[in-house]
Structure 1
Amino acid sequence: MPIDTKRKAEDDEPRPEGSDYDSDGSEEPDFINVDFDFRAPEEIDFLALKRLLQQLFYTHNTKLDLSALADHIVKTSTTQGVGTTIKVVDDEDQDPYAFVSTIQLSSEKKAGLEAANSLTKYLLEVSSKPSSKSVHDVIKSAASSTSTNAPVIAVLHERMVNMPPQVAPPLYKMLLEELKASLSSTSAPQPSHYLFFSRVFSADAFSDDEAMDEDDDDEPSGLAGARKRKAKLARREAKKAGAKKDAPKTRAISDGMGLSGAESSGDEQLGLFHPEDIAISKVASHSLTYRFPPPADASDSFEAPLFGRVALVPAGKMETLLQQIEADLSMPMPQ
């Protein structure tokens, strides 16, 4: 896709909670004006795309061929005109702050499908538990080299923390338009589902416990002390992630269950890095959430639990999904 066909977006967003404020102690955040340039992925973006993929797959990133995935994003843009990155206007050499692309899941072993094989293998692994059999079966039947079923297309998307969520509607809209044009020009089969992958985090601490002093050494023992320590960990993780106190939350679920699935006996809540996950979960036909293993330094860096989230959206519901994301996240027009 020619680079000059990408569109621009302007945003006037406050810095998230935890950013630097004025030295006078005011609680009002600073405002920044940023012009974002929506551009086609290029070779120069390879390493930055790989880093965003590492962020997306967290401690499971070693299970995937991230180099093949990053290369796929660049090549898909060049050969099919599908995919977008976000950079700051007039700074083309800067690393992208976000990207979106697609990849058709496949387990066929042949040259050029290394990225698809890697992602498909990973998704089949994380959905292998009995509780996620429905997700596993959809992926397996669509990705099999002998299958005659309609394909499943995975949407690869990640953005830097603190990016305004208003960038999501144009990203997804352009992606679907580009993909439709590509499928039409190549007479490729239409997908049965679009697979969305994202992360969610433990947000159990966002309550009245927020008033507790994190530096208070007089910590209660037993269960009360454990809950207080857990609250501290979650608050610190949320601040590091740029999340706000009132960020979207959803009730926790057991490993392998859907984000909007059955009731859980736990008290934990999951917070969303990407608020569009709410709309995605509403139209998804299948979904699951599973715990990422903590990093080796989790206890030292106060890492709160993170989870991977998979959602399968029927192709026929994508227009409805885009409309809902746009209604939820689009910026109001200036008066």
Structure 2
Amino acid sequence: MDMVNVDFEWFDPQPAVDFHGLKTLLRQLLDVDHQLFNLSELADLILSQPLLGSTVKVDGNESDPYAFLTVLNLTTHKDKQVIKDLTAYLSQKASSNPSLSALGSLLQPTSNAQVGLILTERFVNMPHETVPPMYTMLLEEISWALAEKEPYNFTHYLILSKAYTEIASSLPTPNQPPSKKKKSGGSGGEEVFYFHPEDEVLQKYAMCSANYEYTTPRDEGASDSKRAFQELGVKPMGHLILVEGSRFEAAVNGVKDFLGGGQ
């Protein structure tokens, strides 16, 4: 096996060069529901706060990001259309899942909560060790921002992520006929896997966490298209983790211990 040595570098978001790379990663993060949101507006909003959050690159500051992490204040930006759309989307997912009832109340217009929405995504072949430094730097940047009286005194952090279950293939094989599709009720007791392994740690510190079904219907055979190297198909879904502000630093330390690579 050939080994390739790659040097990863962490940067502040760069408004001049990161727009298209961020849109690509946001599209991946939101999966089939990405079309429900103005990703250009969302990318611009992330880039409007270049001193908060980070990107990971391999070819210098002028190259596209391979990973990013940021936090957006849902209250401060409540009048921006993409935040209105995201808040309505998250509220709908919370209201339809009893496990997320605490989140639903925090997202109400009458709530006094300051919810920081954490958006983070990376290419699938990125080493997990690149994640802890992004969270560590976010903690430091929030501390600096608070010293400058900026609006990042979050009562809660909401991590928007992805999970998946494995489902039987609908394609025929030489030894068996195609399986009959079952309607997904989301409560079949399937084992859930995480695209971001740190989510398994983060939810241990959470007030609540749960998976949710995407709003946009998925094409027939989409799960089979993701089974090139395995017997079972993959069914992605959204995943939400709500962490109280007072527990966020401990959650970040838990991620560092779990994945390594922390600074």
Shorter-chain TM-score range: 0.7 to 0.9
Q: Report the RMSD for the aligned CA atoms in angstroms.
A: 2.9
Q: Aligned residue for 2:166?
A: 203
SS in 2 for 1:324: helix
The letter of the residue matching 1:324 is: G
Aligned residues of 2:210 and 2:240 also touching (Cα < 8 A): yes
1:310 is aligned, of 240, 249, 257, to 240
- Indicate how the Cα distance of structure 1 residues 118 and 179 shifts in structure 2: closer, same or farther if over 3 A, else same: farther
Question: Which structure 1 residue ranges, 4+ long, deviate > 6 Å from structure 2?
Answer: none
Q: Superposed, which structure 2 residues align to 1:80-99 within 5 Å? A: 81-89=51-59, 91-99=60-68
Per the TM alignment, residue 332 of structure 1 is displaced from its structure 2 partner at its CA by 9.8
Which protein has greater RCO, CA pairs closer than 8 Å, 6+ apart? 2
- Indicate how the Cα distance of structure 1 residues 109 and 101 shifts in structure 2: closer, same or farther if over 3 A, else same: closer
2:47 is aligned, of 74, 88, 105, to 74
2:3 is aligned, of 31, 36, 52, to 31
Per the TM alignment, residue 137 of structure 1 is displaced from its structure 2 partner at its CA by 1.2
Q: Give the number of the structure whose residues are more often helix, by fraction.
A: 1
Aligned residues of 1:103 and 1:116 also touching (Cα < 8 A): no
- Indicate how the Cα distance of structure 1 residues 331 and 204 shifts in structure 2: closer, same or farther if over 3 A, else same: farther
Aligned residues of 2:160 and 2:239 also touching (Cα < 8 A): yes
Q: Aligned residue for 2:89?
A: 122
Per the TM alignment, residue 49 of structure 1 is displaced from its structure 2 partner at its CA by 0.3
Q: Aligned residue for 1:19?
A: none
Per the TM alignment, residue 39 of structure 1 is displaced from its structure 2 partner at its CA by 0.7
Q: Percent identity?
A: 32
1:42 and 2:10 are equivalent in the alignment: no
1:283 is aligned, of 185, 189, 205, to 205
Moved more, 48-57 or 181-190: 181-190
SS in 2 for 1:133: helix
Per the TM alignment, residue 107 of structure 1 is displaced from its structure 2 partner at its CA by 8.8
- Indicate how the Cα distance of structure 1 residues 275 and 179 shifts in structure 2: closer, same or farther if over 3 A, else same: same
Q: Aligned residue for 1:139?
A: 107
2:154 is aligned, of 187, 191, 194, to 191
Larger radius of gyration: 1
The letter of the residue matching 1:169 is: P
Using structure 1 for the length normalisation, give the TM-score: 0.67
Moved more, 150-159 or 298-307: 298-307
Aligned residues of 2:208 and 2:243 also touching (Cα < 8 A): yes
- CA deviations on 1:65-90 (whole Å, 9 max, x unpaired) are 2111100111111xxx101111114x
Q: Aligned residue for 2:219?
A: 296
Per the TM alignment, residue 183 of structure 1 is displaced from its structure 2 partner at its CA by 2.4
Paired with 1:254 and 1:63, the residues of 2 have a C-alpha distance of 22
- Indicate how the Cα distance of structure 1 residues 116 and 267 shifts in structure 2: closer, same or farther if over 3 A, else same: closer
1:151 and 2:121 are equivalent in the alignment: no
Paired with 1:108 and 1:323, the residues of 2 have a C-alpha distance of 28
- Indicate how the Cα distance of structure 1 residues 217 and 319 shifts in structure 2: closer, same or farther if over 3 A, else same: closer
SS in 1 for 2:48: helix
Q: Which runs of 5+ in 1 are unaligned?
A: 1-28, 206-214, 231-252, 256-263
The letter of the residue matching 2:122 is: R
Aligned residues of 2:136 and 2:262 also touching (Cα < 8 A): no
- Indicate how the Cα distance of structure 1 residues 64 and 73 shifts in structure 2: closer, same or farther if over 3 A, else same: same
1:179 and 2:159 are equivalent in the alignment: no
SS in 2 for 1:311: strand
Aligned residues of 1:82 and 1:101 also touching (Cα < 8 A): yes
- Indicate how the Cα distance of structure 1 residues 300 and 85 shifts in structure 2: closer, same or farther if over 3 A, else same: closer
Paired with 2:173 and 2:78, the residues of 1 have a C-alpha distance of 57
Aligned residues of 1:204 and 1:267 also touching (Cα < 8 A): no
Per the TM alignment, residue 331 of structure 1 is displaced from its structure 2 partner at its CA by 4.2
Paired with 2:11 and 2:209, the residues of 1 have a C-alpha distance of 31
Q: Aligned residue for 2:229?
A: none
Aligned residues of 2:160 and 2:241 also touching (Cα < 8 A): yes
- Indicate how the Cα distance of structure 1 residues 135 and 219 shifts in structure 2: closer, same or farther if over 3 A, else same: farther
- Indicate how the Cα distance of structure 1 residues 329 and 73 shifts in structure 2: closer, same or farther if over 3 A, else same: same
Paired with 1:123 and 1:332, the residues of 2 have a C-alpha distance of 30
Question: Aligned residues, how many?
Answer: 251
Moved more, 116-125 or 44-53: 116-125
Aligned residues of 2:164 and 2:195 also touching (Cα < 8 A): yes
Q: Aligned residue for 1:104?
A: 73
Using structure 2 for the length normalisation, give the TM-score: 0.84
Paired with 2:220 and 2:172, the residues of 1 have a C-alpha distance of 23
Aligned residues of 1:152 and 1:195 also touching (Cα < 8 A): yes
